[in-house]
Structure 1
Amino acid sequence: MSHVVVVGAGLSGLAAACHLVGDGHRVTVVEREDVPGGRAGRLTRDGFTFDTGPTVLTMPDLIDRPLRAAGSSLAERLDLTLLDPAYRGFFADGSTLEVRHGHEAMRAEIHRECGSLDAAAFDEFVIWLRRLYLAEMGSFIDRNFDRPTDLLANPRAAAQLLAMGGFGRLGPMIRRRFRDERLHRLFSFQAMYAGLAPDEALSIYAVITYMDSIEGVYFPKGGMRAVPEALAGAAADAGAEFRYGTSVTELVRDSSGRVRGVATDDGEQLASDAVVCTVDLPTAYRWWLPDVRPPRAVNGLLGGNYSPSCVVWHVGVRGVADGKAHHNIHFGHQWSEAFDDLLKRGTLMSDPSRLVTMHSLDDEEAAPEGHSTLYVLEPVPHLEVGSIDWEAQSTRDMMRERLLGFLQESGYPTDVVTEELVTPADWRDQGMAAGTPFALAHTFPQTGPFRPNNIDRRVPGLVFAGSGTVPGVGVPMVLPSGRLAAQRVDQMLGRPA
């Protein structure tokens, strides 16, 4: 039986472990933290439990896939609640719009708030989004590429994406379809998940809008942390071994350069036939492959284009907010101009849009009775743009006061019991290149077959997974990343994929 070591028990590593153990490999997962999750982590303090990573869960079938590979299922491991509304949008003019689940409910919301023309436009938009998703998922997202020309392996899908305007720009495409400016924002802010301003993002990333607005947003009982717990439990029950509280210090390579295992901080060497590495890709090269020149700049690792970072303020407060949903997006007056601050000038947004997630509304374990958890996210420049000194206590204090003032103005409770502020410097210290948890931006030269590959043929025996490689950033994309990594391992070891 072949032995595969998976470095990191984040979502991509756990998905890889599920697929690998299901394929008959002996699997050892090495994780530096004491619990699974990686970027989908948790923080427990003063009676509050915070989900510290992704807050939006879509496409649960992509969680079911690795669970089934390990002999389990979504129905067995997770209890999901559909969030309706998925988001509540608050606009600078005092109005609100909700992203409702289901075509008819969302159409009614648009008709009531924006008028009949935009409601009719939404009908056509939904048809376009579904066609885009079907053309894109199998041929462009959920597959391995050996070379850019592999995109032409399915010329019909490539031609369809081109004919649908998938390689145009998202922002202008949304503006052509809808009259109400609020819909421009509500259907394009998802470009930020891909690390780009809506006017710079490719229209293919409207697939994220499809996942949110059409397929629905869910919340698991027990919080977002229940997702990695479910995947880890399924992999362990299928035979995978987990070593928590253990850090990998180096990749063990033989004289030919082939990876033969890993060394850990407890002095042990784990021999293996292959290693799946989920460390942020540029960081993996810097830490463990200093003798290997990273892939060329077009693949983003030399002068690459990184996604913006963010500040996240986890706050446990006394009180419960009225009129707020699980996910709340507060849009500023500005839109395109604010992205210029973030992406070009490298400064804080002069008029920012922010996300506030209240897990405690649907997670009874998150906060004591009569209290709330607030997850407050503001996009900020990554560390290679601008000159904000996130190491300075004065900068952290300024950011805290800025977010506290926003919460007060927006009607949230602000009697703080406990808190944790996470900045780009903290993301960097966790091993995330450029201090961003969103990895390389999905510019055209860093998308699909042009994104850094999950193998480097100069380092046989090593496979990458996670948001820095294919298919890309975020939940649910890192789940297929784990499956694609497991497929690569099978190919390396001469087994049927």
Structure 2
Amino acid sequence: MRTVAGSADRIVVVGAGLSGLAAALHLAGRGRQVTVVERALGPGGRAGRRDADGYRMDTGPTVLTMPGIVADTLAAVGESLDARLPLVRLDPAYRAHFADGTTLDVRTDAEAMTDAVRAFAGPSEAAGYRRLRHWLTRLYEAEYARFMAANVDSPFGLLTPELARLVVLGGFGRWDCAVGRFLRDERLRRVFTFQALYAGLAPSRALALYAVIAYMDTVGGVYFPRGGVRALPDALAGAAADAGVTFRYATAVASLERRGRRITAVRTDEDERIRCDAIVLSCDLPEAYRLLGGAPHRAWRLRPAPSAVVLHLAASGAWAGTGHHNLLFGECWETVFDDLVRDGRLMRDPSLLLTRPTATDPSLAPPGRQLMSLLAPVPNLADRPTDWDRLGPAYARELLEVVAGRLGFAPSTVDTLHVLTPADWRRQGLVAGTPFSLAHTFAQTGPFRPANLPRTADNAVLAGCGTVPGVGVPTALLSGRLAADRVTGVVAARRVGIGPARRRASDPASGRR
């Protein structure tokens, strides 16, 4: 594995998002002097927040999986997950609502989910679910250590026994076909393929190896920290500060100083100079490449993932029939991906994610009130240039009416607190106005994804969802650790964390790195 050249005792990390915080923790735990420079007023990056009138909104990710990776990140400086970030395991992980009026609680306990599938679709589908669960676990075992949690310098580095296992498991086929080998009920297939939206592809186009995302939530489990997902970056930043990491919030990086091919200092927008031996750039790719002096040449154009419109909503009542996370499927599943990915248009028959965090933590809203977020995938601004500042309010009302019709409430009983659109993501500097960065096409997977060790400087490393291993909370944290490994070389973990799940496949905190 290649690492940065020369000494690397003083490190500057640009960006206090999840990947930057993870890099800072791993580097501090390895004895480096770390300074984190962040343009915002606090940590989080894409895991943002907004507070208004007693509502505490998460404006970034709402689904947290694979807590063992969080535990390993904190363990880099001798901290424990239980002390820093108490988590609640959600049961069910999701409640799926289908257009025919049926619902299914998606549980991560094998026996409970088998019983639920049997009652929902019959004994044959229940047996198929057990086989699918076994396949997902084997897929995860084959992928994690070598393809997700390790740096690879070239495609030839993938020629390992694990690659052969992936081939045998059908990892290079199509996701929907792989799931279809086990499940015939079209509603159930949606539950185990909707995660393709996170990868920015239709299940019919996504490689089956990305079904490991379905392993993360339907087998590994979905969790929620008290106080909201914002508690995750707060916990990481707190642990880093206690470990000696210096944070410079409300400070933007204007430029990098160089001596030959080495970056020697960071210049802030107030013309302050922060010296460094190496730098980790965890900002979005366009900003990272601007600071480095240009993007590397690629034979093909980078393809962004679809974006999203997110409504933050408030209401009264108990909202019986909804869980913490609710999948609201439309009638025509295939048209969702045709619209978003193939045609670059708004969904004609929306499938949506409704999250109600007050189902687990009522303190996120005033007494007697519910806080919810509604996520609707939409095309990114490269695929569909749209004046979202003009269109956003009308589309938000349209979405609310769709959800009201499906769940049976009057739109007038729900207050819209805040709306986020691709225009807002673009103002944050996110490529093509999408919080999901680059799609996980084959040409943007593994060693074909933008590398975390750019060739334009000898002591710079990239981290974040635009580089390896990819998009999502667990992968962002892994990206920070992989960046630290590029600086120091691989070191032994302080804690036995998450890896190939040989001992207890359903436990996301078992196994080894």
Quickly name the TM-score band, shorter chain normalised. over 0.9
1:189 aligns with: 194
Could you list the structure 1 runs, at least 4 aligned residues long, displaced by more than 4 angstroms after superposition. Answer: 494-497
- Structure 2 unmatched runs, 5+: 1-7, 494-513
Q: Deviations over 1:111-142 (max 9, x none)?
A: 00011111011111111111111110001110
1:68 aligns with: 75
* Cα drift, residue 284 of structure 1: 2.0
Q: Deviations over 1:311-330 (max 9, x none)?
A: 11112333341210000010
Q: Distance in 1 between matches of 2:492 and 2:184?
A: 51
TM-score, length-scaled by structure 1: 0.94
Q: Does 1:207 align with 2:220?
A: no
Q: Deviations over 1:285-313 (max 9, x none)?
A: 1x3234x3424145xxxx21111001111
Deviates more, 1:331-340 or 1:84-93: 331-340
* Cα drift, residue 490 of structure 1: 1.3
Deviates more, 1:31-40 or 1:311-320: 311-320
1:411 aligns with: 408
Q: Distance in 1 between matches of 2:98 and 2:414?
A: 26
Partner secondary structure for residue 189 of structure 1: coil
**Are the aligned partners of 2:311 and 2:416 in contact in 1 as well (CA < 8 Å)?**
no
- Cα pair distance change 1:262/1:320, threshold 3 Å: farther
Q: Deviations over 1:215-261 (max 9, x none)?
A: 1101111111111111111111111011111111222222x132122
Q: Deviations over 1:349-369 (max 9, x none)?
A: 101100010112212331001
* Cα drift, residue 343 of structure 1: 1.0
Q: Distance in 1 between matches of 2:295 and 2:475?
A: 27
Q: Distance in 1 between matches of 2:253 and 2:105?
A: 45
Counterpart code for 2:112: A
2:328 aligns with: 330
Identity value in percent: 52
User: How many residues end up aligned between the 2 structures?
Assistant: 484
* Cα drift, residue 105 of structure 1: 0.6
Q: Distance in 1 between matches of 2:262 and 2:492?
A: 21
- The one of 242, 247, 250 equivalent to 1:245 is 250
**Are the aligned partners of 1:262 and 1:270 in contact in 2 as well (CA < 8 Å)?**
yes
1:422 aligns with: 420
**Are the aligned partners of 2:132 and 2:179 in contact in 1 as well (CA < 8 Å)?**
no
**Are the aligned partners of 1:317 and 1:413 in contact in 2 as well (CA < 8 Å)?**
no
- Cα pair distance change 1:496/1:333, threshold 3 Å: closer
Partner secondary structure for residue 354 of structure 2: strand
Partner secondary structure for residue 388 of structure 2: coil
1:296 aligns with: 298
Q: Deviations over 1:258-294 (max 9, x none)?
A: 2122111222111101111111113321x3234x342
* Cα drift, residue 418 of structure 1: 5.3
Q: Distance in 2 between matches of 1:323 and 1:293?
A: 49
**Are the aligned partners of 1:342 and 1:348 in contact in 2 as well (CA < 8 Å)?**
yes
2:272 aligns with: 268
* Cα drift, residue 11 of structure 1: 0.6
RMSD between aligned alpha carbons? 1.7
Partner secondary structure for residue 162 of structure 1: helix
Partner secondary structure for residue 133 of structure 2: helix
* Cα drift, residue 411 of structure 1: 3.5
Q: Does 1:148 align with 2:155?
A: yes
Q: Distance in 1 between matches of 2:288 and 2:34?
A: 20
Q: Distance in 2 between matches of 1:406 and 1:390?
A: 19
- The one of 23, 29, 37 equivalent to 1:16 is 23
- The one of 374, 397, 401 equivalent to 1:401 is 397
Q: Distance in 1 between matches of 2:444 and 2:163?
A: 17
* Cα drift, residue 413 of structure 1: 7.0
**Are the aligned partners of 1:39 and 1:54 in contact in 2 as well (CA < 8 Å)?**
yes
* Cα drift, residue 2 of structure 1: 1.4
Partner secondary structure for residue 49 of structure 1: strand
* Cα drift, residue 169 of structure 1: 0.3
Paired residues for 1:284-433 under 5 Å: 284-285=288-289, 287-290=290-293, 292-298=294-300, 303-391=301-389, 393=390, 395-409=391-405, 410-411=407-408, 414=411, 415-417=413-415, 419-433=417-431
Q: Distance in 2 between matches of 1:265 and 1:449?
A: 34
Q: Distance in 1 between matches of 2:212 and 2:118?
A: 23
**Are the aligned partners of 2:77 and 2:243 in contact in 1 as well (CA < 8 Å)?**
yes
Partner secondary structure for residue 368 of structure 1: coil
Q: Distance in 1 between matches of 2:386 and 2:20?
A: 33
TM-score, length-scaled by structure 2: 0.91
Q: Distance in 1 between matches of 2:168 and 2:9?
A: 45
Q: Distance in 2 between matches of 1:293 and 1:308?
A: 22
Q: Distance in 2 between matches of 1:231 and 1:60?
A: 13
Q: Distance in 2 between matches of 1:271 and 1:146?
A: 28
Q: Distance in 2 between matches of 1:495 and 1:312?
A: 40
* Cα drift, residue 176 of structure 1: 2.4
**Are the aligned partners of 2:146 and 2:162 in contact in 1 as well (CA < 8 Å)?**
yes
- Cα pair distance change 1:42/1:115, threshold 3 Å: same
Q: Does 1:257 align with 2:261?
A: yes
